[in-house]
Amino acid sequence: MGMGGGVLLLEDFRVDARASSPTEFIALREVFRRDEFEEWYVTTGRGDLAGARSVLSYHVSTRRLRVLKRGVYAHMNCADGCLMASRLTPDAVLAFDSGLRLRGLIMENYRASYFTRCKVRPFCASETEFRPVRVHRGRRIGGVEVVLHEGHAVRVTTLECTFVDCVDRLDLAPELPELINAFREAKKLNVEATVGIAIARGSRLVV
């Protein structure tokens, strides 16, 4: 169940084929990956991959877009760390401090952590440090939901998993006083489920 109150499907991550032009596609997506734009451009019959990349280069040259990192584009005025992190890899799942920040439980902390199976490095952009936590082959990310954030569908760990993850990786969590305050303010937190997750994982939360 998404925070917006409706169930979101994986199809919500697909590009919007209803965009009538590259300009409209860009207007609808504050942050997007090159592969998302290429898929839309080719499947809607506008041209090939070379044409898609030429369009992107044009919009970067005219300063409508900026390159957040290789293969990821953002509007010039985009400063939403959670939204940017959610598009850094095809499988990005917001977690730790980002999971709390997305839900308004902590203040802006200029860091954005996310799970991914892709081999990527941390980097800084827009005064935000993006910190990938790699999930290796054969392991799974427990407790993931799809929610709406600023009109975009993003993956994020459930609130319960987010708190357990933060306790187990304090280096990826907000400062302890802020984490404790977030726990107190989390009205929708299922405490029983949180304890169950912590026990199943052997978390320090219950040790």
Is residue 190 helix, strand or coil? coil
CB 182 within 8 A of CB 165: no
Local structure of residue 115 (DSSP, 8 states): E
Phi-psi region of 89 (alpha: psi -120 to 50; beta: other; left: phi over 0): beta
Local structure of residue 199 (DSSP, 8 states): H
**Could you write out the DSSP letters of every residue in 65-88?**
EEEEETTEEEETT---HHHHHTTS
Q: What would the pLDDT profile of 1-47 be if each residue is shown by its tens digit?
A: 333 334 445 455 554 657 889 999 999 899 999 999 999 999 999 99
Three-state SS letters, 28-48: HCCEEEHHHHHHHHHHCCCCC
Question: What strands lie across the sheet with 72-75, from one edge to the other?
Answer: 31-33, 72-75, 65-69
Main-chain phi, psi angles of 151, to 5 degrees: 80, 0
Q: pLDDT digit of tens for each residue in the chain (207 aa)? A: 333 334 445 455 554 657 889 999 999 899 999 999 999 999 999 999 999 999 999 999 999 999 999 999 999 999 999 999 999 999 999 999 999 999 999 987 789 999 999 999 999 998 899 999 999 877 778 799 999 998 889 999 999 999 999 999 999 999 999 999 999 999 999 999 999 999 998 898 876
Residue partners of 20: CB distance under 8 A and separation at least 6: none
Which tokens belong to 87?
Answer: 């598009």
Task: Say whether pTM exceeds 0.85.
Answer: yes
Choose among 37, 40, 82: nearest CA to 60.
37
Choose among 194, 203, 72, 201: nearest CA to 125.
72
Is residue 202 helix, strand or coil? coil
